[in-house]
């Protein structure tokens, strides 16, 4: 009886690698450019949402960001990956000094390999985070959307929304309040002022309360300058709050409504009816109105009541006055006519008699 054929031995005498080892090796190569490999506090970048195809989304993001990044900041200067800074030629007998020199060389080589745009793990499905270096994310994304809005030229197929992230912190209320006090100063601290709204989104996080976060952030904006007012239809600034797991991403953007909430698929479309666009924006901000009502108790925005009351009165004016008069006329008009008819018939009968 023939012996069963044996599998050829792997070079080096080891066993065949498992799938997990290949995944780890892939991640190591992916993060070989240096820097963090996942979303964490202290980063700047661009948060991108897609539809079921993250790999294609990353490719489109690199292409789009490099195109406009080279236009704004010039071509990226790359260095050879294998090139590393050389240390001093002389030998040092001091072990401590030698270790310090080696650590310095490693840090320097890592800084040389950092790229302008680098994809990192976001921690959520259909969400890609591109870490940026040496650029201002809000200006770059605004430039991209402004160009697409003017030309109406579609440049992506998978990317949905592209939100700049100017800073990240831990997703706990006290950490967010402490970080926001200094983060929001360039836009809202006196003498700077403007109208604003707060947009909140949470993914893979269950310990944060949406209304509480919006109320606290609105209170901070009000304390920075009492002239800052809430405007939910056409604000000058939109404070974007994106929470993924235990990381909070913050940014302040302009033209949020004009650029269709920074949606690359919608910004290239021409609005068919401006009134429909306004109505859609109004319906989308109903939840924001509820959260903004609570911040009125802290007297942080005096102009909010003037904006919300007309909307409520208009809605009431469109529904209640049109329905109630019909009920009153239908219920009250018919008995009066019937009584008049009976009285008239009785009087005629008396006259005839």
Q: What percentage of the chain has pLDDT greater than the value 90? A: 52
Q: What is the pLDDT of residue 19?
A: 63
Task: Delimit the domains of the chain by residue range.
Answer: 45-74+102-268
Beta bridge partners of 55: none
DSSP letter (8 states) at residue 267: T
Alpha-helical regions (H) of 240-303: 274-284, 286-295
φ/ψ of 226, rounded to 5, equals -70, -15
Nearest one of 232, 215, 332, 235 to 285, comparing CA atoms: 232
Whether omega for the bond prior to residue 191 falls within 30 degrees of 0, making it cis, is yes
pLDDT tens by residue, 169-205: 999 999 999 999 999 999 999 999 999 999 999 999 9
Tokens 């310090």, located at residue: 100
pLDDT tens by residue, 310-339: 444 343 344 444 444 443 444 444 444 444
Q: Whole-model pTM?
A: 0.63
User: What is d(CA 100, CA 106) in angstroms, rounded to the nearest whole number?
Assistant: 10
45-74+102-268 CATH choice from 3.40.50.720, 3.30.2300.10, 1.10.150.120, 1.10.3720.10: 3.30.2300.10
CB neighbour class for 17 (10 Å; exposed up to 12, middle 13-18, buried from 19): exposed
User: What is d(CA 314, CA 310) in angstroms, rounded to the nearest whole number?
Assistant: 6
Contact between residue 92 and residue 153 where contact means Cβ atoms under 8 Å apart = no
φ/ψ of 114, rounded to 5, equals -65, 135
Taking the CA atoms of 266, 267, 272 and 275 in sequence, report the sign of the dihedral they define.
Answer: positive
- Max CA pair span of the chain: 139
């Amino acid at each position: 009886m023939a012996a069963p054929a044996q599998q050829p031995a792997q070079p080096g005498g080891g066993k065949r690698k498992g799938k997990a080892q290949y995944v780890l090796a892939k991640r190591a190569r992916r993060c070989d450019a240096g820097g963090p490999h996942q979303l964490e506090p202290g980063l700047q970048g661009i948060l991108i949402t897609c539809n079921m195809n993250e790999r294609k989304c990353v490719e489109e993001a690199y292409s789009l960001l490099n195109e406009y990044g080279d236009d704004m900041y010039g071509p990226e200067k790359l260095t050879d990956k294998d090139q590393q800074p050389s240390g001093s030629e002389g030998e040092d007998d001091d072990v401590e000094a030698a270790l310090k020199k080696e650590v310095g060389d490693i840090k320097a080589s890592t800084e040389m390999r950092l790229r302008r745009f680098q994809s990192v793990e976001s921690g959520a499905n259909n969400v890609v985070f591109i870490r940026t270096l040496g650029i201002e994310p809000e200006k770059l994304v605004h430039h991209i959307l402004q160009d697409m809005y003017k030309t109406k030229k579609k440049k992506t197929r998978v990317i949905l929304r592209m939100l700049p992230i100017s800073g990240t912190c831990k997703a706990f209320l006290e950490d967010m309040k402490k970080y926001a006090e200094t983060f929001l100063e360039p836009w809202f601290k006196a003498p700077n002022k403007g109208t604003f709204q707060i947009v909140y989104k949470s993914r893979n996080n269950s310990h944060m309360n949406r209304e509480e976060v919006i109320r606290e952030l609105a209170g901070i904006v009000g304390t920075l300058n009492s002239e800052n007012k809430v405007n939910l239809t056409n604000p000058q600034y939109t404070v974007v709050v994106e929470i993924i797991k235990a990381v909070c991403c913050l940014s302040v953007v302009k033209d949020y409504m004009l650029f269709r909430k920074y949606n690359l698929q919608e910004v290239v479309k021409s609005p068919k009816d401006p009134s429909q666009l306004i109505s859609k924006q109004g319906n989308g901000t109903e939840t924001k109105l509820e959260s903004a009502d609570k911040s009125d108790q802290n007297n942080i925005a005096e102009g909010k009541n003037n904006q919300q009351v007309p909307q409520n009165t208009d809605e009431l004016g469109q529904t209640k006055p049109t329905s109630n008069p019909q009920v009153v006329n239908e219920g009250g008009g018919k008995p009066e006519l019937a009584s008049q008819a009976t009285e008239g018939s009785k009087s005629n009968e008396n006259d005839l008699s």
